[in-house]
Structure 1
Amino acid sequence: MVRIVAVSLSDIAERAGVSVKTVSGALHGGSARMSDDKRQKVKAIAEELGYVTNLAARGVRQGWLPLVGVVSDGLITSPFATEIVRGLDGAARSAGMAVFAVNHRSGQSIGSVLDEVQQFRPRAVAYAAMYHKDVALPDRLAGAVGVMINCREATGRVTALVPDEEGGAREIVRYLLVAGRRRIAFINLPGILAGTLREMGFRAALGEAGIDHVGVFPAVRRSVYSDRAPSLVASHVEALLKSGQRPDAILCGNDRVAMEVYAALARAGLRIPDDIAVASFDNQVEIASRLDPPLTTMALPHRAMGRLAMEILLTEQPEPPHLHKLPFHLVERASV
């Protein structure tokens, strides 16, 4: 019978010529001040000796496991989930941590979901939403969430990472203006925070340039945007083309709206961008890159939000709660 001898932190410390505390920090992400060279040396020795972390013992000793829990408010069903999770997971692995998510189902209280996450004894907990919105956390739970991702706590008690919607709209409008477009219409997403902020940026950028917009129009018939709501896009495009101020550019609330604008302009026999330029938000690559011509759009900073969220969750000296707006990235394609 083969006898397996467990390798301890002390064994690694003796071989590396460092303290047990240093070994623990290198392997478990507990030391932010350690040099990369020292961290890699300790990890290499641990691997050579065949060290395996005893997660159960570590959880009892520290009060938490090397896990980061994510309360997913619809995120799992979002096309952007992959980017946020990649950002979280990449940063977590670098710190010797793992990420797990629990879905916040419709009708389920936030408190019950957080209680479910806490059963796994994670080191930290994040709350991530599928779209930019305000979330009201119960008083007793505000301190349990380390960071909000793609959403903000309604009273500002938790650090929040959100896209700079207003700044992104300003940037794409300025891009259209530099391209020589002066009659710009906006088919926006009604009733949601992202749409409200993007409209503010749209109006501000045109105001700075001393140019009036052609109009701001809701993409759907309902008061709150949903991609399943009856669309108004085709009727808006038809009316704009018949108006005395036909636009030379149409800004779209998201890439799905842009896809409908493409179809409406094609039916009218107009070419993009020769007759009318089209630009958008989100950069859903499966849509934006496959349209003809490919769509110029503002990419959401989801991966950056995931990386920064993990850095905030694992820091040993957290800053006071604040709202952090991350910039969009302009993806230039052939529609402008």
Structure 2
Amino acid sequence: MTISLNDIAERAGVSVKTVSGALHGGSARMSDDTRLRIREIAEELGYVTNFAARSMRQGWMPLIGVIADELVTSPFATGIIGGLDSGARASDMAVFAMTLSGRRTVASVLEEMHRFRPRAVAYAAMYHKRVELPAEFAETVGVMINCREANDRVTSLVPDEAGAALEMTNYLLNAGRRNIAYINLPGLLASELREIGFRQALDQGGFNGANATVLPAVNRAIYSDRAQSLVHSHVQQLMSVPQRPDAILCGNDRVAMEVYAALRRCGATIPDDVAVASFDNQVEIASRLDPPLTTMALPHRAMGRKAAQILLAEDRAPVEVKKIPFRLVERLSV
């Protein structure tokens, strides 16, 4: 026998609208106890959602669509999608992604996506940047993940880059390091913000942030891991002067890996002679270096979870830019 919402409502002593809200994320307001009781009754009766009927009734399927701006090529894609999926599954929703690249525009991706009638749509980027959405789609996209809408028309979740650099630099200062060099990633928004936090921490610590040593990791205006690296020459130069750095902050874990090799060529030990710290927490790199690397973990999973909360909220909150904090991962390089 097919179990209906009416059957569950009768057993629970509530309205069909309340049952629908408890099981399908509708707009009905109820206590957590009521929601839990309805779900227990539904499970006891063996209720199975008729997705086709539900879609016709509500006008949407239990899906969150993600416009993936090169996201699938990022080593951090699983963090964002995993966090979003975890939040979605808590409301009996599923996540699907469509890649934005090449000739596929936001308009064409959204047109294709809407064939599946998702309840909500997110836009997620491979790295922190500003994205200018066509004005007609600003209302369609519910949240930007790991990027910021250029005109601030959409709620955006971005890593707190300046805050992460401030925290890491303070960590180095508290460890007794006083001459900190920074090998940064040129041309990236994240790097610009991190440099601000780096210099701010030095100023607050009684050092001259304006005179700090900040060097580009590659010889291009915009960082790419395929560009010619300048790391070895920078480290060689830094270690050849009387005022050697006692710490090197790196723009990412790949740069830190190069710094390790360059320091060893100079006969310096980590962390006794020079501490090394970084950003990203690419575990396959950071945990396998010798010694393991102290780094700031990007908040991709947290951004995904927060995005699900925003997209599935009953009421749409005012548009804002939310900075999500990194997590300091202490290992043995400091």
Does the 8 A contact of 1:214 with 1:247 survive in 2?
no
Match for 1:186 among 170, 182, 196? 182
Equivalent residues in 2 for 1:1-336, closer than 5 Å: 5-31=1-27, 33-212=29-208, 214-336=212-334
Please state how far the C-alpha of 1:31 moved relative to its aligned partner. 4.4
2:105 corresponds to which letter in structure 1?
S
Distance 2:142 2:76 in 1: 21
Percent of paired sites with the same residue: 69
Please state how far the C-alpha of 1:153 moved relative to its aligned partner. 0.4
Distance 1:118 1:243 in 2: 61
Distance 2:33 2:325 in 1: 33
1:223 corresponds to which letter in structure 2?
A
> Which string of whole-angstrom CA distances, capped at 9 and with x for unpartnered residues, describes residues 90-140 of structure 1?
111111111111111223212111222122111110000110000010011
Does the 8 A contact of 1:13 with 1:23 survive in 2?
yes
1:150 corresponds to which letter in structure 2?
N
> Which string of whole-angstrom CA distances, capped at 9 and with x for unpartnered residues, describes residues 181-239 of structure 1?
01000000100100110011111111122213551111111111111111111111111
Does the 8 A contact of 1:176 with 1:249 survive in 2?
yes
User: Which deviates more, 40-49 or 52-61?
Assistant: 40-49
Please state how far the C-alpha of 1:28 moved relative to its aligned partner. 0.4
Cα RMSD (Å): 1.3
Q: 1:29 to 1:159 in 2, by over 3 A?
A: same
User: Which deviates more, 166-175 or 80-89?
Assistant: 80-89
Distance 1:234 1:140 in 2: 48
Distance 1:110 1:220 in 2: 32
Distance 1:250 1:118 in 2: 48
Distance 1:173 1:297 in 2: 11
User: Which deviates more, 299-308 or 248-257?
Assistant: 299-308
2:96 corresponds to which letter in structure 1?
F
1:267 corresponds to which letter in structure 2?
R
Instruction: Structure 2 unaligned segments of length 5 or more: list them.
Output: none
SS at match of 2:139: helix
Distance 1:174 1:33 in 2: 45
User: Which deviates more, 44-53 or 260-269?
Assistant: 44-53
2:169 corresponds to which letter in structure 1?
V
> Which string of whole-angstrom CA distances, capped at 9 and with x for unpartnered residues, describes residues 273-323 of structure 1?
000000000111111111111111011111111111111111121122111
Does the 8 A contact of 2:83 with 2:302 survive in 1?
yes
SS at match of 1:119: helix
Does the 8 A contact of 1:58 with 1:65 survive in 2?
yes
2:313 corresponds to which letter in structure 1?
T
Please state how far the C-alpha of 1:83 moved relative to its aligned partner. 1.3
Q: TM-score, normalised by structure 2?
A: 0.96
SS at match of 2:123: strand
Instruction: Structure 1 unaligned segments of length 5 or more: list them.
Output: none
> Which string of whole-angstrom CA distances, capped at 9 and with x for unpartnered residues, describes residues 130-180 of structure 1?
100000100111111000000000100000000010011011001100101
1:293 corresponds to which letter in structure 2?
P
Distance 1:33 1:152 in 2: 32
1:114 corresponds to which letter in structure 2?
L
Please state how far the C-alpha of 1:332 moved relative to its aligned partner. 0.7
Does the 8 A contact of 2:18 with 2:28 survive in 1?
no
Distance 2:29 2:246 in 1: 55
